[in-house]
């Protein structure tokens, strides 16, 4: 293989959600999200004894750890009580390739006599909930250093054991059908009983998994589902959420049907003129007889709404095959598509999508249909030049995102996720790293539709632990089925361009032993999808070590810029690493290098602390970018975690190494948990966008670099400083232009021009006086953009802006309402902290409120909230099936009341 080329792949990919209700009802996919009964034990210590497995006692309860702390060995345990693991493990068998390693289910029905699983148990006193559901997100935050759940996991009661119950109406006409329960995400250690019998389960909270309910159901009778979840404390380094937090489906098919995640499409020779499409279809035969079937497929173009357009653009020739009773069989076929509409990232390309409709026929009668969305595009990975999509080099301008949706918690909501992506797109972001777990399937539907590139990731830990109760406890048993299920679910998404199968794992430290673990996982990935490159995110492993040899690409967390190179870290026992891009490129000249995590810069939106450092990048300490009394970090955007770097420093490092394919910033959005450096807070400080979705100053710094053709200029700080009159108050300007002139009260403070590797312009000697700051940006000598900020008066008005004034009346669609506190002239007051009360009338509900303040410990469910740096957020939904006008009213003492209207349809 040539030095400059790692991979050339030309692939037609399917979307993650393959199954839809067929036009002829031979397959049904039914949402069963509504009307569940929910009960959570009051204490994690007082529960039932239906445990999956024993867990180690937590000895070290300190959650204040640097994110790059060295993982440690697992603790050996002796099982002294009955556990249900042997009955749960067989659920994984479809994703274990070696027949000798599949699990045999023991005799017996553990838990069968427990009241909660019985059909006649009275759960009328239980809470009624709809899914997706996060049991912790509406609860009060836990405060203090001795709280049960610490800052690392978000100070909300995610820990504990809970049950969900739902009755299923299975008509007599379903007799003879295969019926499956599909769960997209359950946090965690899920175990399912149906009509009092243990069916199976899955421990990993981020997995999407299936249970075959067929033999447990009574068609024409009452059927009872009971699901037990057990979410341990000290199980994550961020907020995991708790509950059945993604969608749940009932799948009904004929006994002979397309299998779970049952299609896989690849192509060769992709160009604007043609593409050769190869389709593999896997068929399950759940019947007791061998069958002969015919499999045929047609390809349709999809419009922007995801609907088929016109006639098929191509048809696969029908294939006849036999499937033995109780077995699985696959068929493969190919077809040419002329003049394909390619999938690619905006703004230079369009994410066109297709759909393959597969039909299964037996004796001439259709017995199944299966829809597969996909996009046609070619990928080239060039170790010297980066990543090419359809022949165009695409610099990765990416972010890392955790899975929570701020005040909505872990419960997935499509509109909330879409809003996150829309704001990131505005900044110039074109790629998402799913840190550090499989995302909701609907999130990948959005990235497919919107054209984001995705690094799909599965594990944050392997055999060595980062927290006492993390994935290392189940790694030996579940790493193969988790990996294979993850790849099969997502391998057909056009947005997914690489597989990451480990983040900062402890096996970086264990040489050949660690590399052997990596090889095992690597083989699983490649057996399921040989078309995409693999990657590991490494914050410690160096070029001469064993681990970097394993993956196809080199993923570096912070090592490209160097880690803890400031003199203050000399002599410490923390990781200290010189800049590594050149060293890795020299050692692995055939491998593309991507910065899987960069920056980890800090800021609290609208908070500016003095003095301002002269450094390009600096760690946070009291009096230098941070204030531990108020738990805030300065928004001058010059500070980062000890092992990280400012955005400016990262830009310079990436730009001066053109062979680096790009970066994934830590993080796009603030997230719940891991509130470094102030673990008495609730949420992170590293986001470019705060938890409420409000843009920090750093947003404009990234926009200025990532969208060089977009005219913009941004001034910081704000200009309301009653206590700084006559004091030096530095002014910094971000712009996509190359030169800026700054004015204070119409007096020029001079023009400054950006030098090479300079990404902000600084006026560090400005003496504060109230009035107006104006920045005029130029590009190539011509006026490019302009911004003004002014000193404001006292609070007098509330201004509300809904991101969408019309939403669906389905109980799911959301309107995000931004509330600004303004003076009598309508100027937003950037340092206002007024308390605001909210009320609602009409067919709608207030779901949550927030303000983006990491240290605000008021519950998200509260209908009152202090503004933070002048802003507050209210999230509103319409009631299911009730159209009309929602009136949202906000009021605050000594400020004029304000009401806005939102239409639901």
Residue positions annotated with a catalytic role = 504, 597
> Residues near 76 by Cβ (< 8 Å), separated by ≥ 6?
none
Q: How far is CA 174 from CA 177, 195, 216, 241, 371, in A?
A: 5, 17, 13, 35, 22
Q: How far apart are CA 844 and CA 499, in angstroms?
A: 41
- Mapping DSSP to helix (H, G, I), strand (E, B) and coil, where does residue 96 land? coil
Q: How far apart are CA 111 and CA 95, in angstroms?
A: 26
| 3-class secondary structure per residue, 249-274 | EEEEECCEEEEEEEEEEEEECCCCCE
**DSSP conformational letter for 17:** -
| 3-class secondary structure per residue, 29-59 | EEECCCCEEEEECCCCCCCCCCCCCCCCCCC
Q: How far apart are CA 411 and CA 824, in angstroms?
A: 39
Q: How far apart are CA 565 and CA 545, in angstroms?
A: 21
Cβ(73)–Cβ(465) under 8 Å? yes
What is the rounded end-to-end Cα distance, in angstroms, of the chain?
57
Q: How far apart are CA 179 and CA 193, in angstroms?
A: 15
Strands 660-666 and 291-302: unpaired
Report the C-alpha dihedral over residues 169, 173, 178, 181, rounded to 10 degrees: -10
CA atoms in the 13 A half-sphere facing the CB of 316: 27
Q: If we measure between CA atoms, which residue out of 801, 851, 802, 797 comes closest to residue 827?
A: 797
Q: If we measure between CA atoms, which residue out of 612, 665, 379, 586 comes closest to residue 496?
A: 379
Q: Provide the β-strand partners of residue 72.
A: 465
- The dihedral region occupied by 145, where left means phi > 0, alpha psi between -120 and 50, and beta the remainder, is alpha
Number of helices and strands in the chain (H, E): 8, 50
CA atoms in the 13 A half-sphere facing the CB of 475: 23
DSSP letter string, 659-700:
TEEEEEEE-SB--BS--TT-TTSSB-S--SB-TTSPBPHHHH
Q: What six digits make up the tokens of 230? A: 């057990």
**DSSP conformational letter for 373:** E
CA atoms in the 13 A half-sphere facing the CB of 790: 10
Cβ(466)–Cβ(519) under 8 Å? no
Q: How far apart are CA 208 and CA 437, in angstroms?
A: 11
φ/ψ (deg, to 5) at 453: -85, 140
Q: What six digits make up the tokens of 513? A: 């032993």
Strands 761-763 and 5-14: unpaired
């Amino acid at each position: 293989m040539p030095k400059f080329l790692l991979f050339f792949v030309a692939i037609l990919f399917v979307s993650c959600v393959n199954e839809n209700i067929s036009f002829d009802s031979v397959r049904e996919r039914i949402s069963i999200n509504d009307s569940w009964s929910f009960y959570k034990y009051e204490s994690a210590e007082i529960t039932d004894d239906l445990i999956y497995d024993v867990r180690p006692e937590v000895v070290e309860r300190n959650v204040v750890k640097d994110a790059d702390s060295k993982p440690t060995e697992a603790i050996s345990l002796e099982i002294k009580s009955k556990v249900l693991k042997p009955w749960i493990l067989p659920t994984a068998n479809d994703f274990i390739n070696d027949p000798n390693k599949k699990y045999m289910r023991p005799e017996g029905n553990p838990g069968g006599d427990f009241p909660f699983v019985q059909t006649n148990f009275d759960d009328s006193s239980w809470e009624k909930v709809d899914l997706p559901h996060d049991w912790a997100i509406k609860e009060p935050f836990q405060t203090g250093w001795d709280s049960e759940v610490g800052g690392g996991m978000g100070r909300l009661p995610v820990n504990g054991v809970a049950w969900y119950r739902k009755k299923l109406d299975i008509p007599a006409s379903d007799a003879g059908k295969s019926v499956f329960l599909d769960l997209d995400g359950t946090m965690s250690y899920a175990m399912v009983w149906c009509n009092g019998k243990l069916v199976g389960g899955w421990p990993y909270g981020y997995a999407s998994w299936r249970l075959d309910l067929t033999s447990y159901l009574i068609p024409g009778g009452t059927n009872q589902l009971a699901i037990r979840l057990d979410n341990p404390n000290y199980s994550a380094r961020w907020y995991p959420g708790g509950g059945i937090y993604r969608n749940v489906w009932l799948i009904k098919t004929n006994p002979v049907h397309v299998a779970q995640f049952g299609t896989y499409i690849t192509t060769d020779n992709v160009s604007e003129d043609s593409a050769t499409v190869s389709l593999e279809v896997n068929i399950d035969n759940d019947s007791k007889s061998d069958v002969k079937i015919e499999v045929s497929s047609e390809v349709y173009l999809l419009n922007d709404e995801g609907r088929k357009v016109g006639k098929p653009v191509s048809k696969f020739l029908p294939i006849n095959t036999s499937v033995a009773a109780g077995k699985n069989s696959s068929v493969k076929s190919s077809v040419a598509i002329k003049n394909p509409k390619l999938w690619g990232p905006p703004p230079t390309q369009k994410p066109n999508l297709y759909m393959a409709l597969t039909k299964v026929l037996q004796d001439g009668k259709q017995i199944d249909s299966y829809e597969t969305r996909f996009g046609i595009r070619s990928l080239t990975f060039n170790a010297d030049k980066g990543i090419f999509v359809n022949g165009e080099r695409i610099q990765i301008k990416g972010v890392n995102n955790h899975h929570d949706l701020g005040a909505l918690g872990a419960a997935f909501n499509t509109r909330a996720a879409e809003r996150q992506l829309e704001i990131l797109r505005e900044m110039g972001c074109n790629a998402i790293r799913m840190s550090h777990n499989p995302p909701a399937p609907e999130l990948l539907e959005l990235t497919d539709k919107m054209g984001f590139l995705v690094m799909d990731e599965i594990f944050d830990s392997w055999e060595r632990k980062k927290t006492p109760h993390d994935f290392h406890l189940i790694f030996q048993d579940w790493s193969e089925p988790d990996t294979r299920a993850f790849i099969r679910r997502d391998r057909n998404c056009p947005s997914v361009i690489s597989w990451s199968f480990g983040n900062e794992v402890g096996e970086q430290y264990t040489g050949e032993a660690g590399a052997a673990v990596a090889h095992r996982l690597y083989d699983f990935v490649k057996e399921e999808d040989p078309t995409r490159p693999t990657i590991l995110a490494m914050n410690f492993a160096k070029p001469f070590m064993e681990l970097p040899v394993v993956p196809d690409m080199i993923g570096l967390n912070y090592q490209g810029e160097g880690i803890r190179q400031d003199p203050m870290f000399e002599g410490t026992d923390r990781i200290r690493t010189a800049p590594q891009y050149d060293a890795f490129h020299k050692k692995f000249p055939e491998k593309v290098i991507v910065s899987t995590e960069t920056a980890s810069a800090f800021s609290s939106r609208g908070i500016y602390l003095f003095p301002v450092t002269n450094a390009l990048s600096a760690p946070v300490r009291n009096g230098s970018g941070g204030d531990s009394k108020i738990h805030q970090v300065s928004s001058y955007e010059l500070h980062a975690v000890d092992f990280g770097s400012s955005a400016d420093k990262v830009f310079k490092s990436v730009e001066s190494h053109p062979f680096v394919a790009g970066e994934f910033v830590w993080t796009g959005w603030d997230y719940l948990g891991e509130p470094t450096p102030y673990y008495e807070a609730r949420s992170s400080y590293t986001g470019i966008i705060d938890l409420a979705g409000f843009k920090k100053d750093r947003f404009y710094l990234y926009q200025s670099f990532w969208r060089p053709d977009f005219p913009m200029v941004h001034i910081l700080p704000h200009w309301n400083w009653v206590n700084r009159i006559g004091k030096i108050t530095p002014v910094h300007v971000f712009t996509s232009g190359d030169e800026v002139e700054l004015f204070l009260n119409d007096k020029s403070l001079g023009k400054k021009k950006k030098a090479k590797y300079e990404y902000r312009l600084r006026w560090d000697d400005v003496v504060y006086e109230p009035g107006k700051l104006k920045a005029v940006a130029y590009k190539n000598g011509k006026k490019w953009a302009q911004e003004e900020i002014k000193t404001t008066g006292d609070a007098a008005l509330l201004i509300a802006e809904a991101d969408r004034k019309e939403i669906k009346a389905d109980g799911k669609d959301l309107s995000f309402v931004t509330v600004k506190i303004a003076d009598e002239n309508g100027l937003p007051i950037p340092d206002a902290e007024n308390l605001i009360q909210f009320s609602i009338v009409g067919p709608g509900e207030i779901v949550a409120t927030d303000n983006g303040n990491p240290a605000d410990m008021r519950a998200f469910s509260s209908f009152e909230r202090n503004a933070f740096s002048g802003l507050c957020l209210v999230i509103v939904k319409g009631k299911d099936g009730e159209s009309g006008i929602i009136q949202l009213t906000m009021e605050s003492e000594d400020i004029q009341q304000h009401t806005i209207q939102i239409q639901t349809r």
